[in-house]
Chains A and B, each alone.
Chain A
Amino acid sequence: MLVYLIRRIAQAMLVIAVMATLVFFAVYAIGNPIDVLASPQADQIELAAISQRLGLDRPLWEQFGIFVGNALRGDLGTSFVYAEPAAKLILQRLPATFELAFTALAIAVFLGIPLGVYAGLNPDSLGGRAVMGGSILGFSLPNFWQGLMLILVFAVILGWLPAGGRGQTATFLGIESALFTLDGLKHLILPALNLALFKMALVIRLARAGTREVALQDYVRFARAKGLSRSRIVGVHILKNILIPVVTILGLELGSMIAFAVVTETVFSYPGMGKLLIDSIGRLDRPIVVAYLMLTVVIFVVINLVVDIIYAAIDPRVRLSEVKG
């Protein structure tokens, strides 16, 4: 197990290093930020002063060396626009994005599993078919379009919920979150639902396929023969057995939710990391783009690593084949 662990961690570090290099060179190929930052009236001397202050006058490989050295110390550069550390700016917005992602995850699980189980138990009923049809739409329609339609229906036509922004936050048990105020919750519902729809479609499919398979097993038949109530069979015997694949997939999908939050946050003008990324790309604020990507890569690699290690802990075949190969 220890050998496997060391191998996997070394691999993860390698991935982070490769991605850091790729990201740095890709992002620093974007046009010259001085054109955007300096006033159009600035003369040559002023331009040179600005580019010296931002370190843009040095050769690319030297900039890369500085970037790597600083990154190892946790310093991911200073934003051109805000003149504040990029990592700090992103971390400030992290709670808003996590709040959104976890609420969306909760919606996907607590709506998706019951709907999927229902569709699995009644595959040929009208309701079951409607659920499956809805999940295909959730899968195939672009996320931003679903968001726009949510705004059009619930904010513009019905006027029930606000169309964008993050509501008031409150501090509870030392955590500042919009989940603790009514205003915050109101602002959170639409974006979270938007982000949840795609994953919900996935959960519905998994839960439906699992239910159809499990419902035919002998132990379910036996439970029925014993005269257990339908709710107990579904709630205990079926539900427990379909949860394993659902939980595995959702663990992996958490990372992609943070990536898709970029789209949702832009649609709903929600002040999270993703909105910051899109704004920074538009303003050529490279340090923020690089810092965001590095942070996301680390989040992804850590999630994958944790899932792999849990797998190896549960299933000895995985770690044995890895060591041999």
Chain B
Amino acid sequence: MTDTAAPANAALSAPPPVLDAGEALWKRHALNFLKSPAAVIGLVILTVMIVLALAAPWITPQNPYDLAQLDILDGTLAPGSKNATYGYTYWLGTDDQGRDMLSGIIYGLRISLTVGVVATLIALTIGTSLGVAAAYAGGRFDTILMRIVDLQLSFPGILVALVLLAAFGRGIDKVIVSLVIVQWAYYARTVRGSALVERRREYIEAARCLALPRSRVIFKHLLPNCLPPLIVVATVQVAHAIALEATLSFLGVGVPVTEPSLGMLIAKGYHYLLSGKYWIATFPGIALVIAIIAINLVGDRLRDVLNPRLSH
């Protein structure tokens, strides 16, 4: 955070990227990205997790929410135990209702990733639109919007989300709405900052001199040039959203019991932790932690690639 403030002036001296004829910018970025082994590992893990989450119904040994497939007698079995009827192995043990933890985690990953990505995309859209509009319009609209952003960012996100969910009640859609309300302000502030800089550049002046419609100037010229810092912020915010959702579900105000995310699985296993049945809470937690770290690795590398001036 503080590291980024100091080298802001260096942006002026950073040479613009020179491209050879026919070389696409995204290709250069992609090659650059792959130079970091940590980022590649993060990307691979993330891809595997997304594929697992998407393919959950076809690859899990058990549908953890089909009560007909659950056997209460298989409750709280240690990892490696066998299912008495079908003979498959519970590699990560079972919870109190005889649910296979591995299947539960893959389904939970599905919900956690969906909530994180959807919330981030909506917040990104709303925050970006408002931020660009504020920077372009200026004046009173800009002042009022930024006051609201300041006010909101002065309260911790967890508290805001907690209040909202206390009012809305539980539900995946409600969690997403709360996360959007918590997060839009980050994007509004980020995009406004870069839009204010870009607005004064010659190409915007040129576009305006051509008497292009205002919406075209904003969406075709201004916005694409504000995207790089936004992509970085959005990647890291997906991890934040997943962590926040898990925390809220752990506190009992997030997703409902019928659609358990990773946080909910951890909350259910929490009671068994003290009696030594560690696997119910620990394995969903490890999945959550791996997902968050993988996203952060990718996000860090994206920051270095897209925004050389921010790296140090």
Interface residues of A (CB under 8 A from B): 15, 23, 26-27, 29-31, 136-137, 140-145, 148-149, 151-152, 155-156, 163, 205-206, 209, 213, 245, 255-256, 259-260, 262-263, 266-267, 277-278, 281-282, 289, 293, 296-297, 300, 304
Contacts and interface: CB of A to CB of B under 8 A. Distances in A.
B239 interface: yes
Interface stretch (B71-79, B89-97, B289-297): B289-297
Contacts of A148: 266, 270, 273, 281, 285
A152 B247 contact: no
A124 to B, nearest CB: 14
A61 to B, nearest CB: 17
B14 interface: no
Given A27-B167, A262-B158, A281-B166, 7 more contacts: A23-B163, A27-B166, A140-B239, A140-B243, A155-B274, A259-B155, A282-B252
Given A148-B281, A151-B273, A156-B273, A206 B2 contact: yes
B1 A205 contact: yes
Interface of B: 1-3, 6, 151, 154-156, 158-159, 162-164, 166-167, 169, 239, 243, 246-247, 250-253, 263, 266, 270, 273-274, 276, 278, 281-282, 285, 288-289, 292-293, 296
Contact of A259 (B156, B253, B278): B156
Contacts of B6: 213
A20 to B, nearest CB: 12
A239 to B, nearest CB: 17
Contact of B167 (A30, A260, A300): A30
A256 B156 contact: yes
Q: Mostly helix, strand, loop or mixed at chain B's interface? A: helix
B2 A245 contact: yes
Contacts of B292: 140-142
A260 B156 contact: yes
Contact of A266 (B167, B251, B273, B293): B251
Contacts of B156: 255-256, 259-260
Contact of B289 (A145, A209, A260, A297): A145
Contacts of B278: 152, 156
9 contacts: A27-B166, A30-B167, A137-B293, A142-B246, A149-B285, A152-B273, A163-B274, A255-B156, A259-B158
A15 B155 CA distance: 12
Nearest to A278: B251
Given A27-B167, A148-B285, A263 B158 contact: yes
Contacts of B239: 140
Given A140-B292, A148-B266, A300-B155, A26 B251 contact: no
B66 to A, nearest CB: 28
Contacts of A260: 156, 158
A304 B153 CA distance: 12
Contacts of B251: 144, 262-263, 266, 278
B293 A140 contact: yes
Contacts of A137: 293
A262 B289 CA distance: 21
